[in-house]
Amino acid sequence: MTMQTTSSGRGAIELAGVVKSYDGGETTAVDGINLKIPDGAYCCVLGPSGCGKSTILRMIAGHEDPTHGEILIGGENVVGLPPVKRRTAMMFQSYALFPHLNVRDNIAYALRVRGMSRSERYRRAEEMMATVQLGEFAERLPGQLSGGQQQRVALARAAITEPRVLLLDEPLSALDEHLRIQMRTELATMQKNLGITFVHVTHTQMEAIALADLVVVMERGKIKQAGPAREVYIAPRDRYVAEFMGGQNVLRGKVRTINGVRATMVGRGEEPIEVAFDGRHRLEKDETIEIAVRRDDIELLRPEKGKVPAGKAAVSSRIVGIEYQGNFVKVMLDATDDVAFIAFVPERRFFQDPMKVGEVVYAAWDVEHAHLMIEP
Amino acid sequence: MVKRSDLFGWLAVSPLLLVLIPFFVVPFLVILAASFMESDGFGGMIQTFTLDNYIGVFRSRLTFDLYYETAKFAVITWAFATVIGFWVSYFLVFHVKNQLLAIGLFLLCTVPFWTSNIIRMISWIPLLGKEGLINQGLMGAGIIDQPLAFLLFSNFAVIVAYVHQLTIFMIVPIFNSLSKIDKSLIEAALDAGSSRFDILRYIVLPMAKSGIALGSIFVLSIVMGDFFVVKVMSGGGSASVVGALYEDVGVLQYPSAAASAVILTLIVVAVVFSILRVVDIRREIAR
């Protein structure tokens, strides 16, 4: 069998109405997914464990078949085809390196089962080992490598067949914090060099926004939001996405007054909070709405220093905790009932006039910066 | 001066030593000593030092024939037990999806061991005999008109009994080593484009090596050291190394029996060592 080159393969993926249920429909892991991933994109599927993200990956890889729906890679329906025919390659969560084969044979394995001669496949493995800087470890067994090196072997083993799509199942979860950040950068570089589509499943939002062109947030078998990392981060669709992506405070309230593109809502306290909205929303009086306010957009003001400036909205709340984080100070407030309302105050600004736990302050933000969420 | 850790080590192995020294090392030394003595012909031994017993064993054409026969049984039994044992384990580990069912079936393999070796062997007689189930069935179906004589009291029957008795010694260690194979390895191999046969050849078989080696040690050493199965199932028609040794004991030739026993022990030890040379079991188990 001859190897095809990367350029001939189009790695665009499309999922259309994909459903996966087990036990004759009793449990549904994936519940009607529609998703388009462009060729050459780095897509991160993000969600808590059990949300169906790994199932999606395994269905794209061909290790599981969808109960309903179609999976298209490069425009052709691949449901029922084995992984080789799909020209996908998967990198497994615990790497699944063959423990009895050394690094070179692990990397060359896919070429071996394709019937390539020993000298040819070793030459290709040698090239690949140079790319991932494993040359000196060729004779080692996986058990003799560090976590980071094992990850590189797994990556090299998956990439050697020049797949059009590389599927990564929680590739960084087995590594310690420090190595995870280093390997994250290596993954990004690798993806740029290979120029193929990466689909990366993770439960860590930091990983997703650092790497992805396209972030897909999932909950219980459904896609909650899909879009560029920045869009998902700054404009979450609902409370779930906002809380999962982090960095946001969610405030819930009832609409009190509506005036053009401004409205006021009343939350837990009796003070009205000004909300900006655009043509996408139709608000009605007494409707429950939720807004997301970024933690780093919040300014803390002392009530005795006067009123909240025009164009700003604010809630009055008590400081319940202060954590020094180095480049900023994390201030926890009791403005919301369930989750803490958090402000990230730049380090210099905070220490110009430090506040103390127990003080009552205004947490204020620019009305334009708060994001009105589509679904409360 | 004994270090504390050394002392603890000795304490830890002492139960094993307490069993091994009186029941293995001492009897072996007694036999070793006896093998250099002379028989007085009436069951007594003259305490001298002679190599005549060994020379006698090696000079005898019979010795080589016996070893050839025993080795033949050992190798044929080993081959059947390995193939069947591997296949059963492979089926249980990779094809039975329900793990509880797999363990249940595995335990089922051990059911024959709830009864004694001898009964298991004798129970072949009504099946394989001239009036046995198989012959009656085949004659009833009109496939044969004379009972097949080779079924019982033959080398065939010996092999059947050995395979029946010893395949479990292959199944257990191979099942154990196959169970340790992470299922994601199989998936990774499929992902890389392997056929089922590739997976068997490149992944499963190499990773079952330690189990096969352990099972081989059990099977080969048991067959080499056995005479009862050969005696009963061949109907006295076939001989074995231990069978001959037993007859020496029967005619009170203790020194020559002892010499044969020492030689057999050395040969079995050599077989075990050569298996261990091929497969580093310690490393495989530690993995």
User: Which residues between 198 and 257 in chain B have a beta carbon less than 8 angstroms from any beta carbon of chain A?
Assistant: 198, 202-203, 206-207
Determine the pLDDT at residue B20: 93
Determine the pLDDT at residue A5: 38
For A36-81, write each residue's pLDDT tens digit: 999 999 999 999 988 889 999 999 999 999 999 999 998 889 998 9
CB within 8 Å: A109 and B287: no
Determine the pLDDT at residue A339: 75
CB within 8 Å: A96 and B194: no
Q: Is B25 exposed, middle or buried (0-12, 13-18, 19+ CB in 10 A)?
A: exposed
Residues in chain B within 8 Å Cβ distance of A157: 188, 192
Is residue B287 less than 8 Å (CB to CB) from chain A? yes
For A155-194, write each residue's pLDDT tens digit: 999 989 889 999 999 988 888 888 888 888 888 988 988 8
Are the CB atoms for B128 and B152 separated by under 8 Å?
yes
H or E element at residue B164 = helix B155-179
Residue A3 has pLDDT above 50, yes or no: no
Determine the pLDDT at residue B154: 87
Is residue B286 less than 8 Å (CB to CB) from chain A? no
CB within 8 Å: B188 and A110: no
Q: Residue B215 falls within a domain, yes or no? A: yes
Q: Which residue has the higher pLDDT, A291 or A338?
A: A291
Tell me what ipTM this predicted complex has.
0.78
Cα(A214)–Cα(A42) distance, integer angstroms: 6
Q: Indicate the pairing of strand A341-346 with strand A328-333.
A: antiparallel
For A230-265, write each residue's pLDDT tens digit: 999 988 888 889 888 888 888 888 888 888 778 888
Q: How far is B69 from chain A (nearest CA, A)?
A: 37
The answer to whether the predicted template modeling score (pTM) of the entire model surpasses 0.90 is: no
User: In chain B, what is the straight-line distance between the N-terminal and C-terminal CA atoms, in Å?
Assistant: 36
* CATH number for the segment(s) A6-234: 3.40.50.300
H or E element at residue B186 = helix B183-191
Are the CB atoms for A196 and A161 separated by under 8 Å?
no
Is residue B193 less than 8 Å (CB to CB) from chain A? yes
| Partner residue opposite A61 with nearest CB, options B182, B191, B194 | B191
| Partner residue opposite B193 with nearest CB, options A61, A100, A113 | A113
Q: How far is A10 from chain B (nearest CA, A)?
A: 19
Total domains in chain B come to 1
Name which of A87, A97, A109, A153 to mutate to probe chain B: the one with the most chain B Cβ atoms within 10 A of its Cβ: A109
Q: A254 vs A23, A284, A365, CA distance in Å? A: 43, 9, 19
For B92-122, write each residue's pLDDT tens digit: 999 888 889 988 998 888 887 788 888 888 8
Residue B82 has pLDDT above 70, yes or no: yes
Across the range B43-63, mean pLDDT stands at 86
Q: How far is B186 from chain A (nearest CA, A)?
A: 9
Residue A291 has pLDDT above 70, yes or no: yes
Q: Residue B99 falls within a domain, yes or no? A: yes
Residue B85 has pLDDT above 90, yes or no: yes
Chain A residues contacting B via beta carbons under 8 Å? 61, 63, 82-84, 88-90, 92-94, 96-100, 109-110, 112-114, 143, 157-158, 161
| Partner residue opposite A98 with nearest CB, options B185, B187, B195 | B185
Sorted by where each begins, the domain ranges of chain A are 6-234, 239-372
| Beta strands in A163-311, from DSSP E residues, in sequence order | 165-169, 197-202, 214-219, 222-227, 248-259, 262-266, 272-276, 288-294, 299-301
Amino acid, single-letter form, for residue A300:
L
Q: Residue B14 falls within a domain, yes or no? A: no
Name which of A55, A98, A112, A118 to mutate to probe chain B: the one with the most chain B Cβ atoms within 10 A of its Cβ: A98
Tokens standing for B26? 């001492």
Cα(A256)–Cα(A267) distance, integer angstroms: 10
Amino acid, single-letter form, for residue B172:
V
Q: Chain-wide mean pLDDT for chain B?
A: 88
Is residue B31 less than 8 Å (CB to CB) from chain A? no
Q: Residue B149 falls within a domain, yes or no? A: yes
CB within 8 Å: B193 and A112: no
Determine the residue of chain B that is closest to A107 in CA distance: B192
Residue B2 has pLDDT above 60, yes or no: no
Q: Residue B173 falls within a domain, yes or no? A: yes
Residue B179 has pLDDT above 80, yes or no: yes
For B22-34, write each residue's pLDDT tens digit: 999 999 999 999 9
For A135-163, write each residue's pLDDT tens digit: 889 999 998 998 889 989 999 999 898 89
Q: What's the pLDDT band for A1 if we cut at 50, 70, 90? A: very low
Full residue range of the structural domain in which residue B190 is found: 61-286
User: In chain A, what is the straight-line distance between the N-terminal and C-terminal CA atoms, in Å?
Assistant: 55
Neighbours of B251 (CB within 10 A): 12
Determine the pLDDT at residue A376: 61
Q: Residue B5 falls within a domain, yes or no? A: no
Second-level CATH architecture of A239-372: Beta Barrel (2.40)
Residues in chain A within 8 Å Cβ distance of B182: 94, 96
Determine the residue of chain A that is closest to B187 in CA distance: A63
Determine the pLDDT at residue A178: 85
Q: How far is B184 from chain A (nearest CA, A)?
A: 6
Determine the pLDDT at residue A286: 83
Residue B165 has pLDDT above 80, yes or no: yes
CB within 8 Å: B187 and A92: yes
Q: Residue B160 falls within a domain, yes or no? A: yes
Determine the pLDDT at residue B49: 87
CATH number at residue B156: 1.10.3720.10
Q: Residue B54 falls within a domain, yes or no? A: no
Determine the pLDDT at residue B237: 78
